[in-house]
Amino acid sequence: MANTAHKEEIPAYAGIIKIGTRDSELALWQANKVKSELENLGYKTQLVPVKSEGDLNLDQPLYEMGITGIFTKTLDIAMITGKVDIAVHSMKDVPTALPKGIVEAAVLDRASHKDILLHKGLDFLKQEKGIIASGSLRRKAQWLNKYPTHQVVDLRGNVNTRLQKLIDNNWNGAIFAEAGLERINLKPKDFLSLDWMLPAPAQGAMLVVAMEKDVEIKEAIANLNHRETEICVHIEREFLKVLEGGCTAPIGALATIEDNTIHFEGNLLSLDGKQKIAVQKTVAIKESTGLGRKCAEELLANGGKELMEKIKNELN
C-alpha cells in the first residue's frame, strides 16, 4: 500500500521537485497526478515539459549509458543533465534495464490493466472477415490467435491520433489500454473489454524514476509507492526481461494478489498468432521472489526458446 503518513509526519524536501514530462495529453495527466500527490504531502513541485533530446547536449553516447527506450529516452537525458529531478512514465513503456544512475523511486497504485476494443458494431466477430487496428505485436498476435481469419493493421500515434484514425478508416475496431483512455476521459460508453487478452507487463501502472544519487528526492517520492502494485509489476517485468533477451516479441503477463497469494499468467506468441505458449503459477507472496524468472524459464524450456529465435529472425 502507499505510504499513508500524515502530512506533518513526512520530512519535506526543502527544494522544488522538478517533474519531467512529455507534452502529450496522457503524459501531462500522469505528471500532474504525481505533482498533486506530492503537493498534498507538502512538497513544492514544478512541471518541466521536455520536447526533444536534440535540445540537450550530452558528451557521453546514449548507448554507453544504456538509454534505449523510445518513449523514455528524452526524459532520461533531461534527468542525467539535471534539467529535471524526476520523470513519470507509463511503466509498460519503460525498458526493463534502466540507464546508469537512474532508479525506480515509486510505483503508483495500478489502474486497469485491461485492453479494450473500441468498435463500430460487433457483428464482425462472428464473421470470417474483420479489420482490427493495433500497433502492438502482443495485441496483434493474441487477436489473430483468437480470430485467425481477421486482418490486423498497424496503428500508431498518441491516443487522440489513434482515436481519430479509427473514425477515419474502414476498420471494425481498434485496441486500446483501458487505463489510458480513462485517465484522459476518452473511454466511450460502448466498448468491449478483452478479458481474454493478457496485458503488457506493468500495463496500467505508473512509474516515477529519479537519479540514484538524489537521496532526498528519492525519500520524497517513496511516499507515493504502492507496495502491492510494485510486487506484481516487478514479477511481470522480470518475466519479460528473461524472455526478451533484447528482442521485442508478443509477450503478455499479469500478476495479481488476493489473500496473500500471487497468481501469475504469462504467454509468448508467434507473430502471426498461430503458436502460443503459456504458463500459470500461484504462490504465497512470501515465496514470490524470482517468480517471474521461474515462469519465463519454464516457458523457454517448453518451446519458448525456439519460438523466440524464430521471432528474432522474422523481425530482423
**Which residues are identified as catalytic?**
93
**216, amino acid identity:** E
Walk across the sheet containing 16-21 and list its strands: 44-49, 16-21, 86-90, 206-211, 102-107
Please tell me the distance from the alpha carbon of residue 102 to that of residue 95, in angstroms, as a whole number: 12
298: its cell numbers: 519454464
What is the rounded distance in angstroms from the CA atom of residue 236 to the CA atom of residue 199? 10
N-term to C-term CA, the chain: 42
Query: Rounded CA gap, 306 and 87, in Å?
Result: 37
User: Cell match 466498448: residue?
Assistant: 191
| Distance separating alpha carbons of residues 250 and 152, to the nearest angstrom | 14
- Amino acid in the structure at residue 301: A
Cell 504467454, residue located:
267
Give yes or no for a contact between 55 and 46, defined as CB atoms under 8 angstroms apart: no
Record the cell numbers describing residue 22, joined without a space: 512529455
**Which grid cell sits at 240?**
519479460
Cell of 33: 497526478
